[in-house]
Amino acid sequence: MSTKTKPAAKLAELEAAAHKARQERDRVRRDAQSHGEKLRALDAELGYLARSDASQFDGDGQPVAKSRAAEIRSQIDSASTARWGDLLDGAEQTVRRAEGAVAEHRAEHAVELATEEFRRGEELTAALSIEAERVLESIGELDGVNGRLIGIVAACPGKIDGRDIASDPRLGELRQLLSDHETFCAPRSRSLTPLVAEHPPALLSAGGGWIGGGHGGVNYSPEQPPRVEAGR
């Protein structure tokens, strides 16, 4: 594989930071849910005590000091000061900032990043061709097995012939597909990495955005993504 370019290395850092932010957001969310479940359980227990043991409550309906009801009431009051809403909001904002930084970096270095991914895809496609040749060789060997089986059943006396052989028709389909492996193409952005003789569907505008490349407008930037040569 090619050595990562600086934009790609920075992108990896930003994506890792966004992943970490999402993990932290999810942790806070789980803790908030757990906190809520605990509060509901305490409130249910306090209600049960009120219905089943009136001795734990005074004449005003408040828990008697040092009773289990008072202990539960104290836990509920303490938990009520938790700021889970603010904590979740802060975690969500951190995620949005981190994901925004990823998107901004991708947009700023779109051509470099897309070119690197295209070249990486070409390397993988070339490796796939090598594997395809190996699979085709194995399919050829299976053809030999099939042929020998036909010879075996044909030699058997009685009502048995080549129609007795059960073969998988998908192997023929796979052979047909893999036989064109040399023409397999890597994924590519037609606008960010246009081929030499290709007309990109979108061009960089003078304002920095991407606009349709077929209307002959005058707002195109004089600097467009360099053309690439396909390696296959």
**Gyration radius of the chain's alpha carbons:** 34
229 backbone φψ class: left, alpha, beta (φ>0; ψ -120 to 50): beta
Statement to judge: residues 13 and 64 lie in one domain: yes
Each residue of 147-192: pLDDT tens digit?
999 999 989 988 888 788 999 999 999 999 999 999 999 999 999 9
The mean of the pLDDT values for the chain is 91
Statement to judge: residues 45 and 137 lie in one domain: no
114 domain-assigned: no
224 domain-assigned: yes
Each residue of 55-100: pLDDT tens digit?
999 989 999 999 999 999 999 988 888 899 999 999 999 999 999 9
122 domain-assigned: no
222 domain-assigned: yes
Q: Beta 210-212 vs 202-204: how paired, if at all?
A: antiparallel
Measured on CA atoms in the order 213, 216, 218, 222, is the torsion positive or negative?
Answer: positive
Statement to judge: residues 47 and 75 lie in one domain: yes
Residue labelled with tokens 């920095």: 208
115 domain-assigned: no
If one counts the domains in the chain, the total is 3
Domain stops at, among 42, 76, 108: 108
Q: What is the mean pLDDT of residues 183-206?
A: 92
Give 208's pLDDT tier (boundaries 50, 70, 90): confident
38 domain-assigned: yes
Statement to judge: residues 145 and 231 lie in one domain: no
Report the pLDDT value the prediction gives residue 5, as an integer from 0 to 100.
57
Provide the 10 A C-beta neighbour count for residue 49. 19
194 domain-assigned: yes
Each residue of 101-140: pLDDT tens digit?
999 999 999 999 999 999 999 999 999 999 999 999 999 9
119 domain-assigned: no
Domain that holds residue 51: 6-108
